[in-house]
Amino acid sequence: MIRTQSLTVGPERMSDYQNGRMVKWRDLMNDVKPGRKPASKSVDALTIRELTADEMHELLSRNHVGRIAFSFHDRVDIRPIHYIYNDGWLYGRTSPSEKLVTLQHNQWVAFEVDEVQGAFDWQSVVAHGSFYRLTDDEAPHQRELREEALRLLRNVAPDTLRATDPVPFRTELFAIAIDHLTGRAASSG
């Protein structure tokens, strides 16, 4: 489900508590901190809107570094990770680590990527889905996913999993089947 709507709020109506004291959002938007002068660019209004499906797919396709969030029992973790987006899937590779053990027990993940031009000018996409570790000895569908991941990764880094691989310690390929996408954008003035 994707909805598109905008919210524009003038700084005179925004306030919040920060460190136990009332702070005007106008001051935050203008980067006013105790003992500091306002930033040279003043923000009169902040518009926050949901991204369209096309905008979300474009943002995922443009970028190759994001953050994967996962949990096990009462612990949540988030890690930066390289990826390739293609046709509703995220593909990547990583090093053998405890995160792979954790993801064997709970495959549900969130993945986030953003583009930030300034504190109040940004776009962000969050994908929710299932994590799959791709090995050679899996079922035919898993092998096909592994071949697709390797092909896509080699489009960006041709020596992936070859003798001249620039990061030979990243030996584990993975895929994330995206179940749900959300995206937001903020713009000032």
Whose tokens are 């096909």? That residue is 144
Domains identified in the chain and CATH numbers = 1-48 (no CATH), 51-188 (2.30.110.10)
Q: Does the pTM of the predicted model rise above 0.85?
A: no
**CA–CA separation, 91 and 77 (whole Å):** 19
CA distances (Å), origin 3, targets 46, 50, 62: 19, 7, 22
DSSP secondary structure of 28-78: HHTT--TT-PPPSS--S-EEEEEPPHHHHHHHHHH--EEEEEEEETTEEEE
**CA–CA separation, 76 and 134 (whole Å):** 23
Please report, in tens digits, the pLDDT of each residue of the chain (189 residues total).
Answer: 333 444 444 444 344 434 444 444 445 445 544 554 444 455 678 999 999 999 999 999 999 999 999 988 888 889 999 999 999 999 999 888 877 777 877 889 999 999 999 999 999 999 999 999 888 776 888 888 889 999 999 999 999 999 999 999 998 889 999 999 999 999 987
